[in-house]
């Protein structure tokens, strides 16, 4: 690896020779670094009187993971996609394994359906209510591929259901996260109107996540609403680069770097790297796999990584969708 060669004080010529050799070198056998890994040892223990939260459009549980880290107990998570029932069941099972010990119950209904049931069985006046409505029709990836995104009836009924959750549950704090274009939608106006009618103080902005500790080039609309007190958006921090995330921000990942197999570079990737090394000191780089007619772009370790839009796994292999909408296979 380039970093290892640097530490061994290899010359630029040695590093370039290593890169050229990487094209034909067979990948080394991947180490089973996750074998017998017990994630329960890393889970926080929450007190009985921890603040409680309800999550709408829960997905795989990313928000719940953050809540638990912050000392908040998720008690209900609503997640179901009628067009993908098998995937929804798999998500619910995974969610149960991760958060059931905190007393969290997964409701396998749409948010619109639980609203029609008047949120039966949901706690009233929870400390925290969060919603991440589906962003597909507002995302840049979607509109770039299919033309201008169109707000659908499903988007509007989802927003109406969120507004109804605010009215009926009366949370102390409400948050919403979505892509930046959501703020120009009728759906967002519906939610803002409900918050205003219920007397909430509202603060929202489009933020760049690399300035809040996430080493990705991801811009998101974040809204925080509260009643009786005001919650400000957090202060920005120094942007976090992708390599720093491996070595500092996430010490639990840094030890995996030496176990990774050598990069198998495509010809244009090789050319891009050689061009960089011709005028720069060797440093860790992320190199795009696609670049059209031009050489692929690269990102030094101090820059945020490109955003992985989604991951799809059907048996094997796993496919990732990158920031250009291209599917890439992750080799094991």
What is the SS3 string spanning 277-292?
A: HHHCCCCCEEECCCCC
Altogether, the residues listed in the chain come to a count of 332
Do strands 173-179 and 128-131 pair parallel, antiparallel, or not at all (unpaired)? Answer: parallel
User: Among this protein's residues, is 135 annotated catalytic?
Assistant: yes
Q: Of 104, 135, 249, 326, which residue is the catalytic one?
A: 135
What b-and-e string marks burial along 235-267, b requiring 16 or more CB atoms within 10 Å of the CB?
eeeebbbbbbbbeebeeeeeeeeeeeeebebee
CB atoms within 10 A of CB 234: 12
CA distance 43 to 38: 10
What is the SS3 string spanning the chain?
A: CHHHHHHCCCCHHHHHHHHHHHCCCCCCCCCCCCCCCCHHHHCCCCCCCCCEEEEECCCCCHHHHHHHHCCCEEEEEECCCCCCHHHHHHHHHHHHHHHHHHCCEEECCCHHHHHHCCCCCCCCCCCEEEECCCCCCCCHHHHHHHCCCCCCHHHHHHHHHHHHHHHHHCCCEEEEEEEHHHHHCHHHHHHHHHHHHCCCEEEEEEEEHHHHCCCECCEEEEEEEECCCCCCCCCCCCCCCHHHHHHHHCHHHHCCHHHCCCCCCCHHHHHHHHHHHHHCCCCCEEECCCCCCCCCCEEECCCCECCCCEEEECCCCEEEECCCCCEEEECC
State the catalytic residues. 135
């Amino acid at each position: 690896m380039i970093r290892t060669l640097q530490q061994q004080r290899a010359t630029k010529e040695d590093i370039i020779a290593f890169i050229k050799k990487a094209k034909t070198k067979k990948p080394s056998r991947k180490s089973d670094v996750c074998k017998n890994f017990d994630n329960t040892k890393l889970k926080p223990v929450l007190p009985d009187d921890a603040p409680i939260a309800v999550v709408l459009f829960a997905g795989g549980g990313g928000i719940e993971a953050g809540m638990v880290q912050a000392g908040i107990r998720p008690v209900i998570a609503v997640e179901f996609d009628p067009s993908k029932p098998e995937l929804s069941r798999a998500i619910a099972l995974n969610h149960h394994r991760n958060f059931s010990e905190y007393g969290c119950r997964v409701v396998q209904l749409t948010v619109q359906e639980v609203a029609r049931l008047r949120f039966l069985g949901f706690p009233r006046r929870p400390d925290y209510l969060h919603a991440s409505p589906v962003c597909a029709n507002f995302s840049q990836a979607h509109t770039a591929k299919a033309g201008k995104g169109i707000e659908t009836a499903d988007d509007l009924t989802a927003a109406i259901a969120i507004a109804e959750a605010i009215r009926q549950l009366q949370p102390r704090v409400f948050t919403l996260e979505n892509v930046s274009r959501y703020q120009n939608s009728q759906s967002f106006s519906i939610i803002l109107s409900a918050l205003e009618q219920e007397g909430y103080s509202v603060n929202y902005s489009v933020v760049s996540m690399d300035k809040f500790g996430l080493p990705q080039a991801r811009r998101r609309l974040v809204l925080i609403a509260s009643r009786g007190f005001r919650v400000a958006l957090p202060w920005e921090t120094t942007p976090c680069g992708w390599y720093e995330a491996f070595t500092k921000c996430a010490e639990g990942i840094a030890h995996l770097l030496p176990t990774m197999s050598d990069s198998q570079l495509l010809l244009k990737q090789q050319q891009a790297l050689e061009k960089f090394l011709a005028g720069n000191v060797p440093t860790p780089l992320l190199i795009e796999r696609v670049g059209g007619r031009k050489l692929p772009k690269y990102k030094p370790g101090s820059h945020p990584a490109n955003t992985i839009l989604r991951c799809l796994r059907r048996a094997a292999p796993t496919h990732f969708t990158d920031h250009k909408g291209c599917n890439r296979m992750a080799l094991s």
